[in-house]
Amino acid sequence: MNRYPLWKNLMIVLALLVSILYALPNFFGQQPAVQISSTEDTPVTQALLDPLQKALDEAGLAVSDARLTDGKLILRMDDPALQLKVADFVRDWLRNREMADRYVVALNLLPKTPAWLQDIGGKPMVLGLDLQGGVHFLLQVDMETAIKQQYERLRDDIRTTLRENKIRYTAVKENGKAVTILLRNDDELDKALDLLRTQFPELDLNPYSENGKSGFRGVLTQAKLVEIKATALQQNITTLRNRVNELGVAEPLVQQQGDDRIVVELPGVQDPAYAKQVLSATATLEYRAVDDKHDAYTAHTTGRVPPGSRLYYDKAGRPVLLKKRLIVSGEQLVDAQYGLDTQTGQPQVSVTLNSVGAQRMRQFTLDNVGKGMAVVFIERKPETEMVDGKPVKKTRVVEKVISVANILEPFGKRFRTTGLDSPREAQQLALLLRAGALAAPVEIVEERTVGPSLGQENIEKGMEAVVIGFVLVLVFMALRYKLFGLVADVALFFNLVMLMALLSMLGATLTLPGIAGIVLTVGMAVDANVLIFERIREELRLGNSPHASINAGYDKAFSTIADANVTTLIAAVILFSLGTGPVKGFAVTLSLGILTSMFTAIMGTRMLVNLIYGGKQRLSGLSI
Amino acid sequence: MGTSMNTPTINFMGQRKIALVLSLTLMLLSIATLAVNGLKMGLDFTGGTVIELAYDPAPDLGEVRKVLESAGYNDVTVQTFGSTRDILIRLAPVEGKSTADLSNEVINQLKKGFDGSIEIRRVEFVGPQVGKELAEDGGLAMLFALISILIYVSVRFEKRFAMGAVAALVHDVTLILGLFSITEVEFDLTVLAALLAIIGYSLNDTIVVFDRIRENFRKIRKQGPVEVVNISINETLSRTLMTSLTTLLVVAALFVVGGETIHNFSEALLVGIVVGTYSSIYVASALALFLGISREDLMPPEKETEEVDAMP
């Protein structure tokens, strides 16, 4: 007799039902939407939604759904033509309220998954850039330059320190790999070494001499090198995130890859040239004194700016009058860290300047206690404009005041900015300050752009291949194995459903090679059934009873199936660990497909075979 | 009932010398063409820029070439891709000059000189360093795959089987590479992925045969290794052909309708499945025989042997 216990049948049916449920979200299609998210990590609130919705209604722009999801405001519409209009309207609306800097307005296509499915975590598969179109960049941070910059800073700092301590030197030089210090008098060697060791713990100092002069050769410690690289990478990631925000991309990705690379993925971006321009912008910052003798609002409204001052605006668009004389610039900023004041518990940002910056800062703050000082964040964005049909490269400069604070006491190398509203604001300021410090240059080392039409074509062709392959296999199996073939066909169908459900649940990205993996899975998944069915046939040929043959077929084929699949899995796993984007997608679908096929082709078909033949006491033969 | 279809009795192993000679010849030819012509490495491994543009209306290729040459791009190939409207432009990597900006410049030049619309379908730029890394990683992946499989099959079967299996894989990969070298099909990351999938697939086939050989060595005691291997191959033949056919069907679907982007990928799969099926029948088993596989190597531990003896 061939029967599965009830629990086993129930388990299989349950697994199938769950699969159907989670595969469902892939069939509802997509809906155009406009997505509004905040540039500062704060979530968008009802305070924005209410007036905006009212304005939209008044303008006669029929948005079918407006709601806050995951801190973003999402406006959905049924008519694709409305999408651009709504986006433009929202941008204007924000600009009129001087909030344009605080929000990113992006076009998006969102799945029309019904609410009840969303509530149980149902979501469609994520499409890779090769399917939905978009830009993929791999950027490399120039670590050599980052380290060189550090040695240059050390060189300047060492000169200042030696001078301040009245130790005379003949040369302090660096070559990007080490800094060499040659003293005038040999009897000051010990004193200098002590001083340098305490002031520059990040250097490994060794005796060194050149042209009869003695001194030291300092090399950055391994720990410091690691730190420099990490900082250079982080700094660039921060800057890139800020840039990407401006592009108005709905779901951008900026992510570290390896020690010195950054991946930037911009789905839906159709103009890679523009994206490249925005990404290659550079940022710096300037500390400037606040002009407290004149009123900024008057200057703003009348347009009359006092001589010696300049009018700036802060993030909220409020005018600020600053002195033209520069105190310290980003090149002199070494580090900025956010933290909490150990005594008051208030959020603060600790800033470290190099020796040149420290000296200037000290001089300025000594004379200006009690007065205001502001930080201006400056971005230089290269742009290409067409002038008389020829591209002309230009640089657009965007300046913004990111912090205004009063000088409480004179300070130099290290100081703190307090009085910040929240830890989040402190964090933001520290990030921006670091982004504005002298950054290691980045270079695009890989670009892959897929236009939207090719993406759509890839999906269509891929799906067509899946369907044709699937139908061919269905027919073939039914012809060869009759009723058993039909059983295998049902299992193959559920294999696809389960694979789709798994991919959706795991949030795995579907790529064109990924679809190819599904196609290949369809062809290979029936292998398990072929093995079993051929075995059953053999057993029948040996004269065994139908029931015994079914049993033996499934039993004997099992270890073969397992062995054969493990080897394919090995290849798939290796592929996954090696692969980049699309190829990884192939490995994912192939390996998941193998796993689901083991379930459907062995347990699924067994259940059906048992249901068909299991109840019959006497069987004269099998339709195989 | 399937009784009408009896197990075939083809003397595969009788032809094993011919098969080995054929395989060796093909392999030598492949290695020769690889040594002489090399592989046409794709952008992923060489670095450089590929731009796919959709023109409307279809452009004159000569015109496109002229525009690019007069703009100073010398090492450029221009070809149609799929249809006469789709143009594929390849720019070889130039030391110091190959940057991501190159594609922008090229597209701007082309748009200037064309009366109609040009849509960007695809731009791929791979820096020389990245290309070198991808090539190294790819080679490593191949090596890792072969070694892991060698270990797995050694543990599950026996080392002579493992060597037979890996030899069959090396055979498959060499032949596919040889064919790609002769036909000058571009070898890129997706083709590499296909090769690894073929390794998995071909091995899958080999293992099914080996599994049966092992089983039969334990069961059939009156016949020599050659006959046992022969019987095993015959018994698994319909399964081998059936699975190869279904897989071929789907890959053929991919090859025909899957589009240009994965054309090389599906071509590698298509060839690989044919070669892989052949190799798991002839190469792997024949080599295991050649290496002197015998019943003793496959016997389960003593206790089980007694059980088998006790059976009538």
Class of domain A144-224: alpha beta
Residue A415 in contact with partner chain B when CB distance is under 8 A: no
Q: Left, alpha or beta for A6 (phi > 0: left; psi -120 to 50: alpha)?
A: alpha
Query: Beta-carbon neighbour count of residue B304 at 10 Å?
Result: 11
Coil/strand/helix, residue B238: helix
Q: How far is CA A405 from CA A299, A372, A425, B46, in A?
A: 21, 5, 14, 54
Å between A88 CA and nearest CA of chain B: 24
Question: What are the φ and ψ backbone dihedral angles of A144, each rounded to 5 degrees?
Answer: -60, -45
For testing contact with chain A, the best of B158, B196, B206 (most A CBs within 10 A) = B196
From B3, B104, B250, residue closest to A273, measured CB to CB: B104
For testing contact with chain A, the best of B43, B247, B280 (most A CBs within 10 A) = B247
Distance CA A563, CA B153 (A): 9
Inter-chain CB pairs, A–B, below 8 Å: 234
If asked whether residues B136 and B212 sit together in one domain, one would say: yes
From A445, A534, A567, residue closest to B149, measured CB to CB: A567
Residue A550 in contact with partner chain B when CB distance is under 8 A: no
If asked whether residues B265 and B194 sit together in one domain, one would say: yes
Residue B148 in contact with partner chain A when CB distance is under 8 A: yes
* pLDDT category of residue A475 using cuts at 50, 70 and 90: very high
Would you say how long chain A is, in residues?
A: 624
Query: Beta-carbon neighbour count of residue A509 at 10 Å?
Result: 20
If asked whether residues B164 and B272 sit together in one domain, one would say: yes
Residue A478 in contact with partner chain B when CB distance is under 8 A: no
Distance CA B186, CA A21 (A): 42
If asked whether residues B220 and B305 sit together in one domain, one would say: yes
For testing contact with chain B, the best of A142, A385, A447 (most B CBs within 10 A) = A447
A443: enclosing H helix or E strand: strand A442-450
If asked whether residues B251 and B194 sit together in one domain, one would say: yes
Residues of B in contact with A449 (CB under 8 A): 120, 122-124
Query: Beta-carbon neighbour count of residue A174 at 10 Å?
Result: 19
Which one of B107, B126, B145 terminates a domain?
A: B126
Distance CA A180, CA A162 (A): 13
Contact B249 A527 (CB under 8 A): no
Instruction: Evaluate whether residue B4 is within a structural domain.
Output: no
Which CATH superfamily does the domain covering A6-25+451-613 fall into?
Answer: Multidrug efflux transporter AcrB transmembrane domain (1.20.1640.10)
Q: Which of A299-308, A388-397, B123-132 has the lowest mean pLDDT?
A: A388-397
From B123, B203, B253, residue closest to A469, measured CB to CB: B253
Query: Beta-carbon neighbour count of residue B280 at 10 Å?
Result: 29
pLDDT score at B303: 46
| B177 touches B37 (CB < 8 A) | no
Contact A462 B258 (CB under 8 A): yes
Is A281-448 CATH 3.30.1360.200? yes
Distance CA B270, CA B255 (A): 8
Evaluate if residue A339 carries a pLDDT over 80: yes
* pLDDT category of residue A389 using cuts at 50, 70 and 90: low
Residue B103 in contact with partner chain A when CB distance is under 8 A: yes
pLDDT score at A607: 92
Contact B123 A582 (CB under 8 A): no
Contact B122 A571 (CB under 8 A): no
Residue A537 in contact with partner chain B when CB distance is under 8 A: yes
* pLDDT category of residue A382 using cuts at 50, 70 and 90: low
User: What is the separation of C-alpha B142 from the centre of its chain, rounded to a whole number of angstroms?
Assistant: 11
Distance CA A426, CA A345 (A): 13
Looking at residue B98, what DSSP letter applies?
-
Report domain extents, chain A: 6-25+451-613, 30-112, 144-224, 281-448
Class of domain A30-112: alpha beta
pTM of this prediction? 0.78
Coil/strand/helix, residue A379: strand
User: What is the separation of C-alpha B308 from the centre of its chain, rounded to a whole number of angstroms?
Assistant: 42
**pLDDT tens profile A71-127:** 888 899 888 788 888 888 998 888 888 777 678 888 888 888 888 888 888 889 888
DSSP string, A118-180: HHTT--PPEEPHHHH-EEEEEEEE-HHHHHHHHHHHHHHHHHHHHHHTT--EEEEEE-SS-EE
Distance CA A522, CA A594 (A): 10
For testing contact with chain B, the best of A446, A481, A521, A559 (most B CBs within 10 A) = A446
**pLDDT tens profile B164-219:** 888 888 999 999 999 999 998 889 888 888 888 888 888 888 888 888 888 898 88
Provide the CATH number for the domain around residue B191. 1.20.1640.10
Instruction: Evaluate whether residue B152 is within a structural domain.
Output: yes
From B52, B192, B247, residue closest to A523, measured CB to CB: B247
pLDDT score at B159: 82
If asked whether residues B24 and B59 sit together in one domain, one would say: no
Contact B257 A527 (CB under 8 A): no
If asked whether residues B278 and B170 sit together in one domain, one would say: yes
Instruction: Evaluate whether residue B5 is within a structural domain.
Output: no
Would you say how long chain B is, in residues?
A: 312
> Which pair of structure tokens corresponds to residue A378?
């400056």
Contact A563 B207 (CB under 8 A): yes
Residue A276 in contact with partner chain B when CB distance is under 8 A: yes
Q: Which residue has the tokens 């509004």?
A: A36
Amino acid at A552: A
pLDDT score at B3: 40
Instruction: Evaluate whether residue B98 is within a structural domain.
Output: yes
CATH topology agreement for domains A144-224 and A281-448: yes
If asked whether residues B244 and B111 sit together in one domain, one would say: no
If asked whether residues B274 and B152 sit together in one domain, one would say: yes
Q: Which residue has the tokens 């009348």?
A: A302
Sheet containing A65-69: order of strands = A65-69, A72-76, A30-38, A103-111
Distance CA A372, CA A63 (A): 46
If asked whether residues B52 and B30 sit together in one domain, one would say: no
Nearest-by-CA chain B residue for A454: B121
pLDDT score at A481: 93
pLDDT score at B32: 95
Residue A586 in contact with partner chain B when CB distance is under 8 A: yes
Tell me the percentage of chain A whose pLDDT exceeds 70.
96
Contact B208 A560 (CB under 8 A): yes
- Provide the domain count of chain B: 2
pLDDT score at B31: 95
Evaluate if residue A529 carries a pLDDT over 70: yes
pLDDT score at A503: 93
Distance CA B128, CA A200 (A): 38
Nearest to A155 by CA among A129, A176, A135, A134: A176
Residues of B in contact with A445 (CB under 8 A): 126-127, 129-130
Beta bridge partners of residue A263, listed in sequence order:
A138, A255
For testing contact with chain A, the best of B242, B251, B256, B270 (most A CBs within 10 A) = B242
Residues of A in contact with B5 (CB under 8 A): 537
**pLDDT tens profile A15-55:** 999 999 999 998 888 888 888 888 766 788 888 888 888 89
> Which pair of structure tokens corresponds to residue B127?
């820096």
* pLDDT category of residue A496 using cuts at 50, 70 and 90: very high
Å between B178 CA and nearest CA of chain A: 21
Question: Where in chain B does DSSP place strands (E)?
Answer: 48-56, 76-81, 83-91, 117-126
Contact B247 A520 (CB under 8 A): yes
Contact B99 A537 (CB under 8 A): no
Which one of B73, B95, B126 terminates a domain?
A: B126
Amino acid at A329: S
User: What is the separation of C-alpha A607 from the centre of its chain, rounded to a whole number of angstroms?
Assistant: 44
pLDDT score at A387: 62
From A458, A540, A563, residue closest to B156, measured CB to CB: A563
**pLDDT tens profile A253-293:** 899 988 899 999 998 886 777 788 777 777 778 899 998 88
Which one of B92, B107, B126 terminates a domain?
A: B126
Contact B121 A527 (CB under 8 A): no
Distance CA A488, CA A470 (A): 12
Residue B138 in contact with partner chain A when CB distance is under 8 A: yes
Greater pLDDT, A576 or B310: A576
Evaluate if residue A360 carries a pLDDT over 60: yes
pLDDT score at B96: 57
pLDDT, averaged across chain A: 86
The residue range of the domain holding B52 is: 48-126
Give me the residues of chain B with pLDDT under 70, please: 1-6, 94-99, 297-312
Instruction: Evaluate whether residue B230 is within a structural domain.
Output: yes
Nearest to B255 by CA among B234, B281, B273, B241: B273
Distance CA A568, CA A525 (A): 12
From A138, A567, A582, residue closest to B200, measured CB to CB: A567
Nearest-by-CA chain B residue for A479: B242
Contact A534 B7 (CB under 8 A): no
